[in-house]
Structure 1
Amino acid sequence: MRILATQEPRREMVMWNFSCKKKIGTASTALIILTFVLLYHNLGISRQGTARSSSADTNLRGVDAIQDDSDVRVTKEWRDDAVINEAAVENRVLNAHGGTNGFNPQCKMKKSIAFMKVQKAGSQTTACILQRFGYEHGLNFVLPKKCLSVKLGFPEGMTNKILMKQNVDEYNLLVYHTVYDRVKLHKLMAPDTQFIAILREPFSHLKSCFFYFHRDKRFALLTEKNPLGKYLDNPWLYEGSKKAKKKPVSMTKNLQSYVLGWKDRFNQDREEVRKFISQLDSDFPLILILEYFDASLVLLRRLMCWSFYNILYDRQPRNEQKYSKPQSMYTEQQLQNHRNSSWVDYQLYDHFNRSLWSKIRAAGPDFQDELEAFQQLNDDVNSYCAGKPKKKKTFPGSKWNGPVEIKPQFCEDLKKERFQWDIKICYRAHAYGKDTMLANEARFQKYKENRENTVTTATKAKGTQRKSDQILNDLKKRFPGVDLSAVMKKSDIPVSKVVMAIKQGQYTVDGAAQRLKTLIQNTKQ
């Protein structure tokens, strides 16, 4: 059975036994619920029988989202730094979701959405979901003048000069990297636009950004055994020059807050941070959390009155990154240094993670079943599409969703990457002609083939190296107490040739060991 990953920072919860009313009808009802919430938190009620499943959330995050065991230590002090009243969030959530009904046929689909795309936080996968929705419904995207660019005024911010001029009445979709400016963006987008974003646990986010953006090279830490650990010994030492401070954004300090409009990464004034988060809480009806991605999508579906079909996604990670350095352990002081240097990001994540769980509680006791129904459908559709089907297939409906018909074309769309959607969207917006569109598609296919070939070659090389290492280790076992590599080098016996001879079947390991003993003895004489 598929279940929602349930571990929330600081505490465990009896999530699905927590009943919520559709509306708070009277002040007394609100007081009773608020009192129960407070008692619930203070008593530290634990949830039993729940373990993290191998859900699609794990597939989405891929290798770069796997946290070291020591990462949990970063979150220990979150309770003390809470800056927004959680009861107010709960009250607002109940009203925003119109009660706990998971599937409301009277709910009118919303089509306008602005997505603040936070780097290395699952934003590529989310953007592809929204691009597919917008393209299928013929909606108008806010596009950069250089139409295939991933940026729309990042990091400087959006201006009219960088926008592509389009002859449209209103804009419905924003999915490119930019910086949140509530005045500009609310004026630009359609009146009924829903603003959303996605956040990631800050230390996990740092690890991904640090290596993806090659900060180890930028900070001259490539030769370090643990470059990120070295950085965390004193994060203020890096990007601390006058030149660096003049840059509007840092890829290692409060990056998530910056994308959502926090302009000064060095400003950690508690009251200003509280006001900043409070304003975001008012502007954004939903902020997704990467660690609970599927649950976030189900809440997005409810917010937008969409179907499961609209939030299906390819489980193959977008922009997947494998660290060039092995996972490392980090000291308590290093983790605290990151918390101190990116304090605003921790406040932001802590608040909206709690806000997400408030929304889940408000969604009703059957939210778990709805989540599992979506995950099952997404698994089934991914499995169906993996077989490169030629005929359509209808998947059965559920309490929360009608039957879903999937055609082979949808499978192609499901696997499209951000750049492929950009090509189609820009063509529809008349950014270029059909010939250019076809040329761009051919260019992307060539890039994709080269990327896959590079991955295949690297995988084969790693496999070959592992086999060579194993052979050498087996040889060394035949020479206990002897530095075999050093002896072979001194005897002018190439290690690589010996290993290659064994791999090619010219010798067994024992046969090669016996020959080596003879060669070494002859060399000594």
Structure 2
Amino acid sequence: RTNVMFLKTHKTASSTVLNLLFRFAERHELTVALPAQQLLHLGYPSSFLAHFVEDFQSIGQNYNIMGNHLRFNPSEVRKVMAADTFYFSILRNPVRLLESSYVYYKNVVPAFRASKDVNEYLASPLRYYWRADRQQNIYARNIMWFDFGYDNNAEDDGRYVQQVLREMEQNFQLMLIAEYFDESMVLLRHGLCWDLDDVVYFRLNSRSRESVQALSPESEERVKAWCSLDWELYLHFNQSFWRRVEEAIGLEQLHKEVDELRARQKELMETCLSEQEAVGKDHIKDKALLPFQSGAANILGYNLRQDLDNRTLRTCQRMVMPELQYMSQLYSAQHP
């Protein structure tokens, strides 16, 4: 499959997924729906409109890959993507997600700025979370629900939640789970009929362990209540993920292919990387490969080996290239 729409959710390992989509697009000379005017997002946090895509007026419904941040609006997305497009997204446990958002968006989200740390915020979120700031506070509550185009401050009403989940199931063929990333890559590969190398990856936009704030057990439970829409979303699709595994390939085959993926990843790390692992921002030697930094998070990157031949260097560079730099490169190629 070459027509793919990925709803890039926030703080869910989605940058790693976007990288492999960009690599696939480049390798097969596909057209990527990039943000108009070289912006970073496709209109986010506004609801997506087709004209947010560069050259939409002239290219029309002939884009192959869409994956930059947008707030899902299916009727407008369908104006850009072909009828046979494969739609997928990725979800993360809201407990981990909220902590990650807190650290990453600490300086830009009013509800986070006003609190000392994530546990203080969760002890009494309504003390810091003002409805008047709702547009700036989207990362502070039910961010996944918002990314899918729904009201992140909606009442947690059973019938409403079930209706939304049904809509999501109709709109998306696959929901990946960040906690089972390798398993997700295997399932994605099967869904798209891609090769192993199409889904092999190095983790991108991850942060150093020192910047992780420890959540108290009470805080963990509070996230489930405060972000109850995201929690129900996650539980629902976590269950359907494993059903999908059973239907598509079975657990035994899944484990076999996960092992193959990890072996290939290890092989590429040995080929490409001088340290065999991600390094902190201060240790990245080639500043062209420095990822965007935000909040209190130390976003990690990679150093490539110096002895690579041109072809290998190109492959390795693509695998470690941060999102903004990759977008810029695709932009130059597609819209010279």
Quick check: 1:115–1:197 contact (8 Å CA) kept in 2? Answer: yes
Q: Deviations over 1:303-339 (max 9, x none)?
A: 111001111212xx4223347766435243x333322
Quick check: 1:235–1:337 contact (8 Å CA) kept in 2? Answer: no
2:334 pairs with 1:429: yes
Alignment partner, residue 355 of structure 1: 240
TM-score, with structure 1 as normaliser: 0.54
User: 1:219 Cα deviation (Å)?
Assistant: 4.2
Distance 1:414 1:282 in 2: 32
Alignment partner, residue 91 of structure 2: 199
| Pairs within 5 Å for 1:114-133 | 114-133=5-24
Distance 1:329 1:264 in 2: 22
| Pairs within 5 Å for 1:249-260 | 250-260=138-148
| Pairs within 5 Å for 1:44-443 | 110-147=1-38, 149-166=39-56, 167-168=58-59, 170-214=62-106, 218-219=110-111, 224=116, 227-241=117-131, 243-245=132-134, 247=135, 250-314=138-202, 317-322=203-208, 327-332=213-218, 334-362=219-247, 363-364=249-250, 365-386=252-273, 388=305, 389-391=307-309, 407-430=312-335, 432=336
Q: Deviations over 1:145-175 (max 9, x none)?
A: 122x221011111224433225336111111
* C-alpha distance 384-325 of structure 1, shift in aligned 2 (>3 A): closer
Distance 2:175 2:96 in 1: 18
Which amino acid counterpart does residue 196 of structure 1 have in structure 2?
A: F
Quick check: 1:132–1:421 contact (8 Å CA) kept in 2? Answer: no
Which amino acid counterpart does residue 41 of structure 2 have in structure 1?
A: K
User: 1:217 Cα deviation (Å)?
Assistant: 7.9
User: 1:223 Cα deviation (Å)?
Assistant: 8.1
Quick check: 1:249–1:255 contact (8 Å CA) kept in 2? Answer: no
* C-alpha distance 217-121 of structure 1, shift in aligned 2 (>3 A): closer
- Tell me, which stretches of 5 or more residues in structure 1 are unaligned? 1-109, 393-405, 433-525
Which amino acid counterpart does residue 282 of structure 1 have in structure 2?
A: Q
Distance 1:197 1:413 in 2: 22
Distance 2:34 2:261 in 1: 31
Which amino acid counterpart does residue 328 of structure 2 have in structure 1?
A: I
User: 1:177 Cα deviation (Å)?
Assistant: 0.7
Paired residue total: 301
Which amino acid counterpart does residue 427 of structure 1 have in structure 2?
A: S
Which amino acid counterpart does residue 81 of structure 2 have in structure 1?
A: M
Distance 2:209 2:266 in 1: 27
TM-score, with structure 2 as normaliser: 0.82
Tell me the percent identity: 24
Q: Deviations over 1:219-263 (max 9, x none)?
A: 476784xx211111111222224x224x38611100011111212
User: 1:185 Cα deviation (Å)?
Assistant: 1.2
Quick check: 2:142–2:152 contact (8 Å CA) kept in 1? Answer: no
Alignment partner, residue 281 of structure 2: none
Q: In structure 2, the residue corresponding to 1:196 is in which secondary structure?
A: strand
Distance 1:271 1:412 in 2: 48
Quick check: 1:143–1:163 contact (8 Å CA) kept in 2? Answer: yes
Distance 1:249 1:181 in 2: 20
Quick check: 1:155–1:248 contact (8 Å CA) kept in 2? Answer: no
Q: In structure 2, the residue corresponding to 1:203 is in which secondary structure?
A: helix
Quick check: 1:155–1:249 contact (8 Å CA) kept in 2? Answer: no
Quick check: 2:12–2:97 contact (8 Å CA) kept in 1? Answer: yes
Quick check: 2:98–2:140 contact (8 Å CA) kept in 1? Answer: yes
Instruction: Decide which structure has the larger Cα Rg and report it.
Output: 1
Distance 1:165 1:220 in 2: 37
